[in-house]
Structure 1
Amino acid sequence: MTPPQDAATADLVTGGDGLARPAWAAADPLLREYYDTEWGVPVRGEQGIFERISLEAFQAGLSWATVLRKRPAFREVFHGFAPDAVAAFTEADVKRLLGDARIIRNAAKIRATVTNARATVALRQDGGLDALVWSYRPAVTPAPRALSDVPASSPESVALSKELRRRGFAFVGPTTMFALMEAIGLIDTHLVGSHRRGSSGLWAPDGTPL
């Protein structure tokens, strides 16, 4: 069945620059910049992936805009998300961060970041975090025409979540891991018709691998 003519643009907003973006990325300048330059761009390397796992965990239950606004402070207090530095944090460091109003002061999430740093360091003995996460790249990626077409999780995100938990990670549920996969380009859920669709260099606009 051929979709209606406006199906690809129903949840897209064309900005003053003539570029189509989903509504969530169209109004707030911070989100628009993130969408245009970061979201879905492939991220490789232990430190970059550890940072994004950490920020996705802090985002749980909150808006991504909140995390983005606090990201500079997060990077400062977590030493640029260098796994070795964060793995060395003590309970005194956790208490110190709980008193820092510049970040999201959630004790469970802060402790999970330290736990995940230690798990990341341990993974170096078995291929590393980068190789593990990217091994869950699917054979094809979704090609959503509306925001309602974007799933909350996938078989790959469920499997990645289970494996990370087995490796000692926390706050890595299937939905959080699906969001991670979107953010680092492992999958492409840009809406069909968005100016960012197919821009990862990994996925064609129809969802097939390049």
Structure 2
Amino acid sequence: MIELNGVQRHYSTGGQRVTALAAVDLEIHRGEYVAITGASGSGKSTLLNILGCLDRPSQGSYRLDGEDTAALDDEALSRMRNQRIGFVFQSFHLLPRLSVLENVMLPARFAGRLHDPLIEQRARQLLQRVGLGERLEHRPQELSGGQMQRAAIARALVMQPSLLLADEPTGNLDSRSARAVLELIDELHRGGQTVVLVTHDHDIAGHAPREVRLRDGQVELDRRAAEVHDALA
């Protein structure tokens, strides 16, 4: 589903060239749950931006669902982000003037499907699924941090994306709320959702059956939970 071949990303700053990613090769199959880990400056955020079609590689290729993203113009990339990729951010990014239901339906607005009854039905079902079925008309400021993140997950799923990208999704949550959000992501994965989660926390990364660790813009480690279990046995 995800194919990165020789992906590099360079930036120019202060007259110097900085390499954020250096020849990354990575394949992620449909239905996998992968944690991207690494220290600050390892390239995690740059890789996430490329996977989410928010940025383009300087060199190399990125294919999503078999489609070469380099062949897409900005409008086509925008459609891909809207229809195939769901984003969950650390800071929720819910709009305070909109209700929870309206926030979840925002991707449909950008797709020109705001008044599609199937989208509204799906949004209501998702909010029920994440435990917010009684909070549809509440504003974000009336929710706890954990509830806001669950609403953000429902929003990420409303367009039925093939890929869910989660960037430090528990970073602003207390431990109890964090566990609830991670359990929800675990449940989504068991249901067949492809998940890529970026985190610096090894305990959170342990929820994913596969870990890809970056260092200095390169893949330092790519291992599955079964391999870790075998090594400890």
**Same fold, TM exceeding 0.5?**
no
Length-normalised TM-score, structure 2: 0.29
More helix by share: 1
More strand by share: 2
